[in-house]
Amino acid sequence: MTDTANLAGMMRPLRRTQLFARLAAGVVAALIAACGATAAQDAAVRRAALLQIKGTDARAIARLTSGLQDKDPVVARTAARLLLRCGTSALPVLRKALKSDDLLVRRTVALGLGELGPEAIEPLTEALRDQAPLVRQAAVFSLARIRPRSERAIRMLTAAGQDDDPVVREMALNAARGFFKTVDRIRLPRDGWKFKLDPERVGRDRKWFAVDFDDRGWDDIEIEHAWQHFKYDYVGVAWYRRSIDLPARPKLDKVELSFEGVDECAWVWVNGEYAGEHDIGPVGWNKPFRLDVTNLLRWGEKNQITVRAMNTAHAGGIWRPVSIVVLELKK
């Protein structure tokens, strides 16, 4: 027998083994696909069964609660949505759903709670602490929809205005603002500001925001212009300080410090207390923002305002007007 014939003879068993292996793999793949299809069909059947539940009584809530535990996420999300239509009777179950491992279950519940009235405020406090910004955004949306409006909802929205997520912050501040109407706007003077560059970023540690800080050695500057307008060819951090006298006023519902534009980031102190920040990066250069200063301003007295501004390119500083906005709760 030639070497070629010997080699062919040796290869035939190997080819048969490879063929059997491919056939076996095909069978396994087919079985897996069949199982997957069967599981999907089973989940579709379970979801369809939930959709057939018509009532909103205790029995319906019990059946939907069972669906909430379903291993298929689509089924569980459907159960969460249907539980919301059961109203306040389903609140104990909905509060548990806010602890679901499934993000969309939690978000679905948080979005729908706004339709359930003041009793939903308590579970929404939990949703506002959720680790996922999407859930916290949904909670803010729901709080803004609850009627009648309440002081507690306003306090929750105001607190959410300090959230780590910029979208949550903006939504919360806008929602809280919708509870109020503007009754006065006091535009801060353009001139009379003190100004100092901070290339080494030491101002915060040295408390340049303190009420009694001596800024007499600082430069004079105006706001409503970039600092480059005043020949500061500089990119980085700089500070603004000014004191203003405010008239005496009766009890106020809410007061905000409104900035129409700081290029590009800002950190603000009022009477030595930190009021908040606008720090969303370079895109923030022309974005208006407001900070709640209701408990920081002293009416009938002198007030000290400090702004730490930072830009990373081009112009910088407080280049648009700043105002104190006085708000009154809508009846």
Contacts of residue 66, defined as CB under 8 A and 6 or more positions apart, other chains included, come to: 79
Domain identity same for 63 and 139: yes
List, for residues 144-162, the tens digit of each pLDDT value.
Answer: 999 888 889 988 998 898 8
> What's the pLDDT band for 329 if we cut at 50, 70, 90?
confident
DSSP string, 65-95: HHHHT-SSHHHHHHHHHHHHTTGGGGHHHHH
H or E, element range at 305: strand 302-310
Output the pLDDT for position 18: 55
List, for residues 192-241, the tens digit of each pLDDT value.
Answer: 999 999 999 999 999 999 999 999 999 999 999 999 999 999 999 999 99
Instruction: Compute φ and ψ for 201, nearest 5 degrees.
Output: 55, 55
List, for residues 170-187, the tens digit of each pLDDT value.
Answer: 899 889 888 899 999 999
Domain identity same for 165 and 254: no
Q: Does pLDDT of 24 surpass 80? A: no
53 within a domain of the structure (yes/no)? no
List, for residues 27-70, the tens digit of each pLDDT value.
Answer: 545 444 544 456 567 889 999 999 999 889 999 999 999 999 99
Output the pLDDT for position 31: 42
Domain identity same for 155 and 74: yes
Domain identity same for 172 and 231: no
Mean pLDDT of the chain: 89
How many structural domains compose the chain?
2
Query: Over pLDDT 90: what percentage of the chain?
Result: 76
Domain CATH for 321 = 2.60.120.260
pTM of full prediction above 0.85: no
Domain identity same for 166 and 209: no
H or E, element range at 7: helix 3-51
Domain identity same for 146 and 262: no
Stated length of the chain: 331
